[in-house]
Amino acid sequence: MKSSEVRLDRLSKNYTRMVAVDEVSLAIEPGHMVALLGPSGCGKTTCLRMIAGLIRPTSGDVFVNDKRMTDVPVHRRNVGMLFQNYALFPHLTVEENIAFGLEMRGIAKADAARKVSEALNLVQLSSFGKRYPSQLSGGQQQRVALGRALVIEPAMLLLDEPLGALDKGLRESMQVELRALQRRLGLTTIMVTHDQDEALTMADKIVVMRDGKLEQVGSATEIYQRPASKFVAQFIGASNLFEGPVEQRNGSGAVIRVSPELSLQVDRIPPSANDVMVSIRPEAIVVERAGQNPAAQRANSVMARVDQAIYRGFVSHYYLKTPSGGQIIVFEQNQSQHAGLRYAVGEEVIARWESPSNHVIARH
Ligand code: ATP
């Protein structure tokens, strides 16, 4: 299969009373898998449907391998599509369902049979060709739909919440399977999801959208470790967000005053920022018993009380309250499968963290 480069150039879609997609520009490398991620209504599906040719943009263009596709009708774009409601034909067998797109394209019977058998192989359903959709599990039906999308040897694959209808376990294994297949085929793929875990698991690049605009584009690690805004920090994973004025600068870093009991030393801060937000991931915080001689008043360290403690097997989640009422979320990896919660609700603790784990978001 060919790997295509896809480029969106100031792509917009306006409806009467609203802008669904607002000047989105994006370059997708050949063979990459990109996830469009964002809350409901942010414009993900509209964007994907414009790439497919199902919705005509109000302005802007879609390019595939530098060819302008904006006026090319959907059946000429050679895109494979897979949606949450994959709608197989119930009266056709698995083979016939997969062959359907080939017949529409006028492919000769012998050629079609070979392509169907290859597609069945790809989606690991070789022995299921003669069955009807009603005789398959949800995951198998979704694989048939994937086979149907792949059999036409598409220039790109477009997925809209493709695993949304599956239960959690099956969904997770299909995520890994679909990603492995996409990699093996080197097929440029764009996927819409509102599930951050799905995006982190599957995508080379994550595009976070908000109100029709791109909020941040980056790899999973970039998005997680260096969120560009408060919105991204809160949308991807859990985050402790502390806000405050710069109290003192030291070299390229600074001390941020968050509350009377909490100051943060950060290593790097934009030169012109006077007031910043610091995102600290829950797993970057270390909790210790307060003991006799608490180390409060040091930077990046605060006394707190355990407000909630939740054991979750591999990790424990602690919700701490600081004296001024601030909340700090901590994820602590449990040392062995026999270890339970280390801290009880009501216990006095010290929460502290290293400054490299702080990520500064300049406030607008
Ligand atoms: P979800 O995750 O809920 O599917 P989404 O991010 O995919 O959401 P879109 O379906 O792209 O969002 O919709 C973006 C915005 O455009 C929404 O506010 C939606 O109500 C609006 N919208 C979509 N289609 C139309 C339409 N045909 N007419 C008017 N408004 C529309």
The domain limits of the chain are 6-234, 238-362
**45 CA to centre of ligand 1 in angstroms:** 7
Closest residue to atom 21 of ligand 1, CA basis:
20
Which ligand 1 atom sits closest to the C-alpha of 45?
7
Question: Please, which contacts does 143-146 make with residues 24 or more away whose CB atoms are closer than 8 Å?
Answer: 144/86, 144/88, 144/94, 144/97, 144/98, 145/82, 145/86, 145/87, 145/88, 146/82, 146/178, 146/181
From 263, 272, 293, 289, select the one nearest 355 (Cα to Cα). 263
* Residue 40 Cβ contacting ligand 1 at under 6 Å: yes
Closest residue to atom 19 of ligand 1, CA basis:
41
**302 CA to centre of ligand 1 in angstroms:** 44
Per-residue model confidence (pLDDT) at position 270: 84
Mean pLDDT of the residues in the chain:
90
Q: Indicate whether 245 pLDDT > 90.
A: yes
Q: Indicate whether 50 pLDDT > 90.
A: yes
* Residue 50 Cβ contacting ligand 1 at under 6 Å: no
Q: pLDDT-based confidence at 307, cuts 50/70/90?
A: very high
Per-residue model confidence (pLDDT) at position 358: 79
For residue 46, give both structure tokens.
């509209």
* Residue 46 Cβ contacting ligand 1 at under 6 Å: yes
- In whole angstroms, give the CA distance from residue 79 to residue 152: 8
Highest mean pLDDT among 107-121, 166-180, 200-214: 200-214
Q: pLDDT-based confidence at 122, cuts 50/70/90?
A: confident
* Residue 208 Cβ contacting ligand 1 at under 6 Å: no
- In whole angstroms, give the CA distance from residue 209 to residue 182: 23
Q: Indicate whether 1 pLDDT > 70.
A: no
Q: Indicate whether 171 pLDDT > 90.
A: no
Q: Indicate whether 13 pLDDT > 60.
A: yes
Per-residue model confidence (pLDDT) at position 47: 97
Per-residue model confidence (pLDDT) at position 2: 66
Domain 238-362 grouped into CATH 3.40.50.720: no
Per-residue model confidence (pLDDT) at position 337: 67
* Residue 193 Cβ contacting ligand 1 at under 6 Å: no
Which ligand 1 atom sits closest to the C-alpha of 49?
11
How far is CA 228 from its chain centroid?
A: 15
Per-residue model confidence (pLDDT) at position 295: 54
Per-residue model confidence (pLDDT) at position 58: 96
- In whole angstroms, give the CA distance from residue 299 to residue 293: 16
DSSP state letters, 156-220 = EEEEESTTTTS-HHHHHHHHHHHHHHHHHHT--EEEEES-HHHHHHH-SEEEEEETTEEEEEE-H
CA atoms within 13 A on the CB side of 1: 29
% of the chain at pLDDT higher than 70:
97
Per-residue model confidence (pLDDT) at position 354: 83
The H-or-E segment that residue 147 falls in is helix 138-150
- Are 93 and 132 a contacting pair, CB within 8 Å? yes
Domain 6-234 shares a fold with domain 238-362: no
Per-residue model confidence (pLDDT) at position 74: 87
173-209 b/e with 16+ CB inside 10 Å = b? ebbeebbebbeebebbbbbbbbbbebbbbbbbbbbbb
Q: Indicate whether 20 pLDDT > 90.
A: yes
Catalogue the E-assigned strands of the chain. 6-15, 18-28, 33-37, 59-64, 67-68, 79-83, 156-160, 189-193, 205-210, 213-218, 240-250, 253-259, 262-266, 275-280, 286-289, 301-312, 315-321, 327-333, 348-352, 359-362
Domain 6-234 grouped into CATH 3.40.50.300: yes
% of the chain at pLDDT higher than 90:
62
From 9, 21, 14, 156, select the one nearest 68 (Cα to Cα). 9
Q: Which stretch of 72-76, 96-100, 128-132, 360-364 has the lowest confidence by average pLDDT?
A: 360-364
* Residue 263 Cβ contacting ligand 1 at under 6 Å: no
Q: Which residues contact 282 (CB under 8 A, 6 or more apart)?
A: 238, 239, 240, 317, 329, 330, 331
* Residue 210 Cβ contacting ligand 1 at under 6 Å: no
- In whole angstroms, give the CA distance from residue 93 to residue 86: 15
- Are 208 and 235 a contacting pair, CB within 8 Å? yes
Q: Which of 14, 42, 163, 198 to mutate to test the pocket of ligand 1 (most atoms within 8 A of CB)?
A: 42
Q: What ipTM describes this predicted complex?
A: 0.94
* Residue 7 Cβ contacting ligand 1 at under 6 Å: no
Category of 107 on φ-ψ map: left (φ > 0), alpha (ψ -120 to 50) or beta: beta
248-294 pLDDT, tens digit each: 998 888 999 998 888 999 888 888 888 999 999 999 999 998 875 55
Per-residue model confidence (pLDDT) at position 68: 95
In this structure, the number of other CB atoms found within 10 A of the CB of residue 274 comes to 11
From 240, 224, 233, select the one nearest 287 (Cα to Cα). 240
* Residue 15 Cβ contacting ligand 1 at under 6 Å: yes
Residue 217, strand partner residues: 207
Q: Which stretch of 37-41, 98-102, 185-189, 352-356 has the lowest confidence by average pLDDT?
A: 352-356
Q: pLDDT-based confidence at 84, cuts 50/70/90?
A: confident
198-215 pLDDT, tens digit each: 999 999 999 999 999 999
Q: At what angle do helices 138-150 and 168-185 cross, to 10 degrees?
A: 20
